[in-house]
């Protein structure tokens, strides 16, 4: 009988042996090596063993009786250390075995991040029973804490298992969302939400710096300084094919052991199967293709013809209650088309990717009932153009209606606040409707909902339509854009009442029809999120128009303008000299004094921006935000210091205001002025906020305009002290930040809500004024900083080409 | 086909773009999702707006000057606007971006 030696008793080789013995039990005398001290078991079921849902015995696929019946000589717990191809022997730790045919099935080894402390006891991977047992052991201590590094398939299964064992679990993930290889952002968001609901903490964009501990692991330190106490650290950051044996034996290697379609390596008597092989450039990490390989290899060993083909793969996560499915190719390549469906009420997200009238990829979250049908369509590659419009509704539904635009409102719980001004929640409104208030007017009279600023009118109307159904014909308000069915005001209110704190949360919960918005809605949503959740939400540069992203104004020829801040319009010779030097050094074609009392350098090249900023920073100047929907300038006149008419220190107040307000983002740009006397040299009476100093104090005016519209400010209040003037200004701007529609200047917003509504909050209600000032200050702890310094230090990449092929020598 | 390695996927911000300088002019390299990269002309056919500075959404980019929207797969302007930007084949391999600029070079040689 021929001698067959198999190295590695894993999922691939186990399946291969089954096929082999089934087809011809007497073809080979088999010796099976395994480094693990046990035979074949179902590795993918380690997760239920970890969580305690199964015992190890239940997942063993081949027991001693099976090896005996098939006359397999087992050498478990013995690693193979070499292959001598000349003598055709395999060298094991306990001696050699000769072979006629050899199968390498060594699988993969987990990748371990080589950060300091990675060798401490208590740092484990997630690959075999030893790892699983170490985790189970760690969880036995009451109150034990686990840190899982890696938010992919394995890491999340480990996290869920540890959590079920009662541990406090934190998952650290390097990328922006979980399972980024299988899921898009929206599905990743839903997954994170489900995991958090189970008590698992998830930190994305987390980069591990160090693992600390004396005798064993005690804590994990992140790059950003966060410290996480840990009794066990699980690294699940990827795998590498275990190919050392093949490499040492001189077999042809790629990223793994190269095989042909019959699974033969470059040596005709040596085969390889499983995760340690590379076929036509592909590596393998899931069992489905390995089972295909096993079948082909069994035939090859028996001298029969068969060829291995790479198939489309699908992924499911084995965490009970996290229903997700992804298949095919949804993130690569040109000529693609998306179909997106969201049902916020059920937490469902579905995305199909089409190419050339065929389905090529699918991502589902929350409802995977039809996933097999879709997977079938992906594998067959059939033409789906005839059912394109209803495809996303699945096989049962061919010829149906579009998604319900009201579903976001329908999904709100009764205690969700609809009208912020009067504190009216959805339940109260529904109750009033049941009591006979069946139109807007009646509802306002009975509940006061939408009776104050009016910005929630759209939502109240939606509650009416949801409650009354067809009996209510709502006047349709303009949605933000074609990506959604909601108005700006609706979105702002829902972000607050549903506590939506990320873009994917908004897209999903408010039923967006596109994967990530468009140039109309995304900048608005980005602003709403950062205005409402300054600490939780991270400003997204990619959701900003070019001027705000590059912190400079783009000119019509694609160059930029640079304008440093001059607090209150005051400068000095050193600053002027630095500006002049920069203008010369970067060959600035135009230097202009602006209407806002600043100096503007026009015509700077994109790649020069970080350098000119660095130079201006060095002279003590910061960005003038001449490009932002935020505080622009505070103009002043010279006031009591020099002017014989001046009544107060208008320059001083202007500088104070600018130092408080700079860096803040607002729905549209905000310009201020402070004049020292009613002669009004600083033109304060046509500004968003304009203060005119008088003998008795300060006249604070708001909502002026001097652009396409011309409008004098309206008097907010007259106050005696400078501090009050500052507080009123800050409170007004914060109220504007919290409530206005994106791209409405203050005068437009005040026209909608009414000056009385504004006064009631900013002037009369002292507690509300204090809250507004505090909320503004909280936000400023994040945003009162110089973007130039930050970009010049960390983001110069953004301003330079990724590569310059013109520098390369011609071939 | 002539594939040139121009950098790593991570070198481009998500939903962002970087410029690629070539003998045939500037090309914008866009990244839409974690592993989805497109290459296209950087110059808007309307008034030459720099498309690498536009907002990237779905598989589209909006020109920063007057909001023309282009599909990055086909290069076609969307909606009421008519025009097209050249698009170039891109391949991702082990996190590296490979582009094939033969089309651009032919155009500049012609
Ligand atoms: C926790 C977990 C959950 C998973 N869940 C899924 C899932 O849901 N779906 C899915 O498709 N896939 C899943 N996988 C992946 C799947 O388990 C692997 O793709 C599969 O096990 C690979 O099979 P293999 O035979 O190539 O390697 P393995 O199963 O790893 O077997 C290789 C064997 O070779 C032995 N070996 C290595 N080197 C030597 C040597 N020098 N001498 C002797 N023996 C050696 C090893 O000890 C090991 O026992 C999961 C993996 C894990 C760890
Ligand atoms: S230049 Fe692109 S839209 Fe005008």
Cα–Cα nearest to B37, from B84, B94, B83, B89:
B89
The length of chain B is 110
Q: What is the pLDDT of residues A69-85, one digit of tens each?
A: 999 999 999 999 999 99
Q: Measure the N-to-C terminal CA separation of chain B; round to a whole number of Å.
A: 18
Mutate to test the pocket of ligand 1, among A18, A31, A44 (most ligand atoms within 8 A of CB): A44
Least reliable range by pLDDT among A61-75, A252-266, A344-358: A344-358
Give me the pLDDT at residue A399, please: 40
**Any idea which ligand is nearest the CA of A244?**
1
CA A13 / ligand 1 centre spacing (Å): 10
Q: Which residues on A lie below 8 Å from B21 (Cβ)?
A: 801, 803-806
**Any idea which ligand is nearest the CA of A8?**
1
Question: Does residue B26 sit at the A interface (CB-CB below 8 Å)?
Answer: yes
Does residue A150 share a domain with residue A55?
A: no
**Any idea which ligand is nearest the CA of B62?**
2
Q: Is residue A583 part of a domain?
A: no
Residue matched to tokens 């974690």: B34
Percentage of the residues of chain A whose pLDDT score is greater than 70: 96
Mean pLDDT throughout A138-154? Answer: 92
Domain CATH number, residue B87: 2.102.10.10
Ligand 1 pocket, residue A290 CB under 6 Å: yes
Does residue A686 share a domain with residue A669?
A: yes
Do residue A338 and residue B15 have CB atoms under 8 angstroms apart?
no
Q: What are phi and psi of A258, to 5 degrees?
A: -75, 130
Quickly state the pLDDT bin for A231 (edges 50, 70, 90). Answer: very high
CA A43 / ligand 1 centre spacing (Å): 6
**Any idea which ligand is nearest the CA of A273?**
1
Optimal mutation site among B21, B42, B77, B79, interface A, most CBs of chain A within 10 A: B21
Handedness of CA A117, A119, A120, A125 (dihedral sign): positive
Q: How far apart are CA A457 and CA A463, in angstroms?
A: 10
CB A686 within 8 A of CB A712: yes
Q: Is residue A767 part of a domain?
A: yes
Annotated binding site of A: 637, 643, 677, 681
Specify the residue with its C-alpha closest to ligand 1, atom 8: A44
Q: How far apart are CA A346 and CA A348, in angstroms?
A: 5
Query: How far B1 CA sits from the closest chain A CA (Å)?
Result: 15
Specify the residue with its C-alpha closest to ligand 1, atom 10: A286
Does residue A170 share a domain with residue A41?
A: no
Residue A525 has pLDDT above 90, yes or no: yes
Domain CATH number, residue A137: 3.50.50.60
Taking each helix axis as running N to C, give the angle between helix A766-783 and helix A722-739, from 0 to 180 degrees, rounded to the nearest 10.
70
Query: How far B42 CA sits from the closest chain A CA (Å)?
Result: 11
* B7 → closest Cβ in A175, A523, A803: A803
Q: Which residues on A lie below 8 Å from B56 (Cβ)?
A: 542
CA A59 / ligand 1 centre spacing (Å): 14
Query: How far A462 CA sits from the closest chain B CA (Å)?
Result: 28
Q: What is the pLDDT of residues A3-58, one digit of tens each?
A: 999 999 999 999 999 999 999 999 999 999 999 999 999 998 898 899 888 889 88
Residue matched to tokens 């994170």: A192
CB A568 within 8 A of CB A655: yes
Do residue A802 and residue B20 have CB atoms under 8 angstroms apart?
yes
Residue A740 has pLDDT above 80, yes or no: yes
* Contacts of A785 by beta carbon, 8 Å cutoff, 6+ apart: A663
* CB contact residues (below 8 A), chain B span 6-25, against chain A: 6-7, 11-16, 18-23
DSSP three-state, residue A334: coil
Does residue A233 share a domain with residue A122?
A: yes
* CB contact residues (below 8 A), chain A span 519-538, against chain B: 519, 522-523
Decide which of A579 and A440 is more confident: A579
Q: What is the pLDDT of residues A423-460, one digit of tens each?
A: 788 899 999 998 888 888 788 878 878 766 666 787 88
Specify the residue with its C-alpha closest to ligand 2, atom 4: B66
Does residue A77 share a domain with residue A37?
A: yes
Q: How far apart are CA A301 and CA A25, in angstroms?
A: 12
CB B90 within 8 A of CB B103: no
Query: How far B70 CA sits from the closest chain A CA (Å)?
Result: 12
Give me the pLDDT at residue A476, please: 62
Question: Does residue B33 sit at the A interface (CB-CB below 8 Å)?
Answer: yes
| Burial degree of A146 (CB within 10 A; 0-12, 13-18, 19+) | buried
Q: Is residue A805 part of a domain?
A: no
Does residue A533 share a domain with residue A470?
A: no
Mutate to test the pocket of ligand 2, among B40, B41, B46 (most ligand atoms within 8 A of CB): B46
CB A755 within 8 A of CB A761: no
Tokens at B93, concatenated: 């391999």
Do residue A802 and residue B101 have CB atoms under 8 angstroms apart?
no
Domain that holds residue A521: 488-543
Q: Which residues on A lie below 8 Å from B20 (Cβ)?
A: 801-805
Ligand 1 pocket, residue A48 CB under 6 Å: no
Give me the pLDDT at residue A397, please: 57
Q: What is the pLDDT of residues A161-199, one digit of tens each?
A: 999 999 999 999 999 899 888 888 888 888 999 899 889
* Contacts of A392 by beta carbon, 8 Å cutoff, 6+ apart: A339, A340, A341, A350, A352
CA A291 / ligand 1 centre spacing (Å): 12
Taking each helix axis as running N to C, give the angle between helix A426-434 and helix A457-468, from 0 to 180 degrees, rounded to the nearest 10.
50
Specify the residue with its C-alpha closest to ligand 2, atom 3: B66
Does residue A156 share a domain with residue A82?
A: no
* A558 → closest Cβ in B4, B23, B50: B50
Does residue A121 share a domain with residue A100?
A: no
Give me the pLDDT at residue A810, please: 44
Q: What is the pLDDT of residues A591-647, one digit of tens each?
A: 999 999 999 999 998 889 999 999 999 999 999 999 899 999 999 998 777 777 778
Does residue A525 share a domain with residue A437?
A: no
Decide which of A421 and A428 is more confident: A428
Per-chain mean pLDDT for chain A: 89
Does residue A530 share a domain with residue A431?
A: no
Interface A–B counts its CB contacts (< 8 A) at: 119
Alpha-helical (H) ranges within A440-588 are 440-447, 457-468, 488-497, 503-509, 521-532, 546-550, 573-585
Q: How far apart are CA A191 and CA A184, in angstroms?
A: 11
Tokens at A566, concatenated: 């001059």
Residues with Cβ within 6 A of ligand 2?
Answer: B 44, 46-49, 63, 65-66, 68
Q: Is residue A605 part of a domain?
A: no
Domain CATH number, residue A653: 3.30.413.10
Does residue A762 share a domain with residue A647?
A: yes
Q: What is the pLDDT of residues A269-292, one digit of tens each?
A: 999 999 999 999 889 988 888 989
Q: How far apart are CA A724 and CA A653, in angstroms?
A: 11
> Exposure string (b/e) for A612-645, b if CB count within 10 Å is 16 or more?
bbbbbbeeebbbbbbbbbbbbbbbbbbbbeebee
Q: Which residues on A lie below 8 Å from B59 (Cβ)?
A: 336, 338
Residue A401 has pLDDT above 70, yes or no: no
Give me the pLDDT at residue A331, please: 57
Residue A86 has pLDDT above 50, yes or no: yes
Q: Which residues on B lie below 8 Å from A184 (Cβ)?
A: 33
Domain CATH number, residue A440: 1.10.10.1100
Question: Does residue B35 sit at the A interface (CB-CB below 8 Å)?
Answer: yes
Do residue B73 and residue A517 have CB atoms under 8 angstroms apart?
no
Annotated binding site of A for [4Fe-4S] cluster: 637, 643, 677, 681
Query: How far B110 CA sits from the closest chain A CA (Å)?
Result: 18
Least reliable range by pLDDT among A399-408, A443-452, A695-704, B46-55: A399-408
Ligand 1 pocket, residue A154 CB under 6 Å: yes
Domain that holds residue B72: 3-109
Does residue A776 share a domain with residue A650?
A: yes
Number of structural domains, chain B? 1
Query: How far B74 CA sits from the closest chain A CA (Å)?
Result: 6
Optimal mutation site among A340, A355, A801, interface B, most CBs of chain B within 10 A: A801
Question: Does residue A717 sit at the B interface (CB-CB below 8 Å)?
Answer: no
Annotated binding site of A for siroheme: 681
Least reliable range by pLDDT among A1-10, A256-265, A412-421: A412-421
Percentage of the residues of chain A whose pLDDT score is greater than 90: 62
Question: Does residue B108 sit at the A interface (CB-CB below 8 Å)?
Answer: no
CB A631 within 8 A of CB A625: yes
Q: How far apart are CA B21 and CA B93, in angstroms?
A: 21
Mutate to test the pocket of ligand 2, among B65, B69, B78 (most ligand atoms within 8 A of CB): B65
Give me the pLDDT at residue A707, please: 81
Residue A811 has pLDDT above 50, yes or no: no
**Any idea which ligand is nearest the CA of A316?**
1
Question: Does residue A809 sit at the B interface (CB-CB below 8 Å)?
Answer: no
Give me the pLDDT at residue A162, please: 94
* CB contact residues (below 8 A), chain B span 47-86, against chain A: 47-50, 53-60, 62, 64-65, 67, 69, 72-74
Residue A398 has pLDDT above 50, yes or no: no
């Amino acid at each position: 009988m021929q001698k067959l030696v198999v190295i590695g008793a894993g999922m691939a080789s186990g399946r291969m042996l089954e096929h082999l013995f089934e087809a011809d039990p007497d073809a080979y005398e088999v010796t099976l090596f395994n480094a693990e001290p046990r035979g074949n078991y179902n590795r993918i079921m380690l997760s239920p063993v970890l969580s305690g849902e199964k015992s190890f015995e239940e997942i063993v696929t081949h027991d001693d009786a099976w090896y005996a019946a098939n006359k397999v000589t087992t050498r478990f717990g013995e690693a193979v250390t070499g292959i001598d191809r000349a003598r055709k022997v395999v060298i094991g730790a306990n001696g050699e075995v000769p072979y006629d045919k050899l199968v390498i099935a060594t699988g993969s080894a987990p990748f371990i991040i080589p950060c300091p402390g990675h060798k401490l006891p208590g740092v484990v991977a997630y690959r075999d029973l030893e790892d699983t047992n170490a985790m189970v052991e760690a969880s036995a201590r009451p109150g034990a804490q686990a840190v899982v590094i890696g938010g992919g398939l394995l890491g999340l299964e480990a996290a869920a298992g540890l959590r079920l064992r009662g541990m406090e679990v934190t998952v650290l993930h390097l990328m922006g969302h979980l399972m980024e290889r299988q899921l898009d952002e929206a599905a990743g968001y839903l997954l994170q939400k489900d995991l958090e609901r189970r008590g698992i903490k998830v930190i994305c964009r987390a980069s591990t710096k160090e693992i600390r501990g004396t005798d064993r692991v005690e804590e994990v330190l992140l790059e950003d300084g966060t410290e996480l106490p840990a009794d066990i650290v699980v690294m699940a950051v990827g795998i590498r094919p275990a190919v050392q044996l093949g490499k040492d034996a001189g077999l042809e290697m790629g990223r793994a052991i190269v095989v042909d379609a019959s699974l033969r390596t470059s040596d005709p008597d040596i085969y390889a199967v499983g995760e340690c092989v590379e076929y036509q450039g592909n590596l393998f990490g899931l069992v489905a293709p390995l089972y295909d390989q096993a079948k082909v290899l069994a035939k090859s060993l028996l001298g029969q013809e068969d060829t291995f083909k790479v198939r489309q793969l699908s992924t499911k996560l084995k965490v009970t209650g996290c229903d997700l499915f992804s298949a095919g190719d949804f993130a690569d390549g040109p000529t693609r088309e998306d179909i997106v469906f969201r049902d916020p009420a059920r937490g469902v997200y579905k995305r199909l990717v089409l190419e050339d009238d065929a389905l090529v990829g699918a991502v589902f979250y929350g409802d995977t009932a039809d996933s097999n049908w879709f997977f079938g369509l992906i594998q067959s590659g059939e033409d789906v153009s005839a059912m394109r419009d209803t495809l996303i509704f699945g096989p049962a539904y061919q010829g149906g209606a579009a998604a319900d635009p009201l579903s976001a409102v329908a999904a709100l719980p009764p205690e969700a606040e609809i009208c912020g001004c009067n504190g009216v929640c959805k339940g109260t409104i529904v109750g009033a409707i049941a009591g006979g208030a069946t139109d807007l007017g009646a509802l306002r009279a009975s509940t006061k909902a939408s009776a104050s600023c009016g910005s929630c009118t759209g939502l109240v109307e939606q509650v009416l339509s949801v409650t009354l159904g067809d009996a209510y014909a709502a006047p349709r308000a303009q949605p933000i854009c074609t990506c959604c069915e909601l108005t700006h005001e609706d979105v702002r209110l829902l972000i607050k009442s549903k506590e939506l704190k990320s873009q994917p949360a908004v897209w999903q919960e408010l039923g967006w029809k596109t994967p990530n918005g468009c140039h109309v809605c995304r900048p608005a949503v980005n602003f709403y999120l950062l205005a409402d959740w300054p600490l939780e939400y991270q400003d997204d540069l990619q959701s900003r128009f070019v001027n705000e992203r590059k912190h400079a104004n783009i000119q019509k020829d694609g160059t930029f303008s640079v304008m440093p801040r001059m607090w209150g319009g005051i400068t000095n010779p050193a600053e002027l000299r630095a500006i002049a030097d920069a203008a010369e050094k970067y060959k600035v074609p135009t230097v202009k004094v602006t209407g806002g009392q600043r100096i503007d350098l026009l015509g700077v090249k994109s790649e020069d921006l970080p350098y000119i900023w660095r130079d201006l920073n060095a002279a003590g100047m910061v960005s003038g935000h001449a490009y932002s929907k935020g505080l622009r300038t505070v103009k002043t006149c010279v006031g009591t210091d020099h002017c014989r008419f001046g009544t107060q220190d208008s320059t001083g107040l202007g500088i104070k205001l600018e130092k408080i307000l700079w860096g803040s983002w607002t729905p549209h740009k905000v310009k201020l002025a402070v004049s020292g006397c009613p002669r009004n040299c600083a033109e304060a009476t046509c500004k968003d906020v304009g203060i005119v100093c008088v003998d008795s104090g300060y006249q604070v005016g708001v909502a002026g305009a001097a652009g396409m519209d011309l409008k004098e400010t309206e008097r907010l209040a007259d106050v005696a002290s400078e501090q009050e003037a500052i507080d009123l200004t800050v409170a007004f701007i914060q109220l504007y930040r919290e409530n206005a529609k994106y791209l409405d200047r203050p005068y437009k917003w005040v026209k909608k809500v009414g000056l009385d509504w504004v006064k009631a909050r900013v002037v009369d209600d002292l507690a509300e004024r204090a809250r507004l000032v505090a909320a503004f200050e909280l936000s400023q702890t994040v945003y009162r900083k110089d973007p130039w310094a930050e970009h010049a230090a960390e983001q110069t990449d953004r301003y330079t080409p990724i590569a310059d092929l013109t520098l390369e020598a011609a071939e | 086909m002539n594939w040139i390695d121009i950098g790593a996927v991570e070198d481009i911000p998500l939903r962002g773009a970087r410029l690629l300088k070539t003998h045939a002019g500037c090309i914008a390299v866009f990244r839409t999702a974690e592993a989805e990269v497109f290459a296209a002309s950087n110059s808007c056919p309307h008034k030459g707006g720099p498309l690498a500075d536009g907002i990237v959404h779905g598989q589209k980019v909006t020109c920063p000057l007057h909001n023309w929207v282009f599909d990055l797969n086909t290069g076609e302007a969307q909606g009421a606007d008519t025009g097209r930007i050249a698009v170039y084949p891109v391949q991702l391999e082990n996190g590296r971006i490979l582009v094939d600029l033969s089309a651009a070079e032919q155009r500049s040689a012609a």
